[in-house]
Amino acid sequence: MEQHGQDPTTRIVGLFNESAELKRRTGEELAPTIVEAARLIRETLLAGNKVLACGNGGSAGDAQHFVGELVNRFEIERPPLPAIALGTNPVTVSATANDYSFEEIYAKEVQALGQAGDLLMVISTSGQSANILQAAEAAIERGLRLLVLTGADGGELADLARPEEDLVLRVDSRTTARIQEVHILILHGLCTLVDQELFGGGA
């Protein structure tokens, strides 16, 4: 079915243009913070700590994608880097959701696996997901730092971030799909900088 009176080809070209414009604008706005986020990841790893990551739906996929790039490799040959995607064990997730609540699925894993000095990357396009908020709260309680990827106004998740401890990368959009498209570019940018800063690789 055509949308906004447009033929399908015009609609697709419009989506590409919309995504490209948001990426261009976000790059100009967030480049310094993305560089700082890469330094935060580097400092975490050099201190012998690890990166944890979580999200819901597409953001869960992004969290797992990012961890895969760290543990395996991105664009250069280098040693595996310590990172864990939360929520990937269905037994743990279903047991926690059944015995306690779905809102605690990530917080429980943070409490079990997170150590002071680790970094928790939390990804939520709305910044309002209850289970992500609880994970962030658990991380703060255990002495982890936060790297927040969000959109729109950042929601409660951005409000949780501590100015002197944590970093927020907020994509200025209210369209979930566009935010997620920018998030994956941010994650690839982080991978490039981490490789460059730790191993002298990357473009």
- CATH classification of the domain holding 126: 3.40.50.10490
Q: How far apart are CA 31 and CA 186, in angstroms?
A: 9
pLDDT of residue 6: 78
Binding-site residues for substrate sit at: 56-58, 69, 98-99, 124-126, 129, 180
Residue 2: inside a domain: no
In a domain, 3, yes or no: no
Kindly report the number of other CB atoms within 10 A of residue 96's CB atom. Answer: 21
Q: Which two tokens stand for residue 175?
A: 């369209």
Around Cβ 122, how many Cβ atoms within 10 Å? 31
**pLDDT, position 203:** 52
Residues of each annotated binding site for Zn(2+): 65, 69, 180, 188
The annotation places the binding site at 56-58, 65, 69, 98-99, 124-126, 129, 180, 188
pTM of the predicted structure, to 2 decimals: 0.94
Distance CA 183, CA 155 (A): 16
pLDDT for residue 3: 55
CB neighbours of residue 21 within 10 Å: 11
What DSSP assignment string belongs to 7-51? -HHHHHHHHHHHHHHHHHHHHHHHHHHHHHHHHHHHHHHHTT--E
Residue 50's domain comprises: 8-199
Is 55 a domain residue? yes
What is the spatial distance between Cα 119 and Cα 179, in angstroms, rounded to a whole number?
22
* Mean pLDDT for back-to-back runs of 10 residues, the chain (203 residues): 73 97 98 98 98 98 98 96 98 98 98 98 98 98 98 97 96 97 98 96 58
Query: Which parts of the chain fold into alpha helices (H)?
Result: 8-46, 58-71, 90-99, 105-113, 130-141, 155-160, 176-199
Q: How many domains does the chain have?
A: 1
Query: Residue 95 is encoded by which pair of tokens?
Result: 């047991």
pLDDT confidence of residue 1? 39
Whether residue 106 is contained in a domain is answered as yes
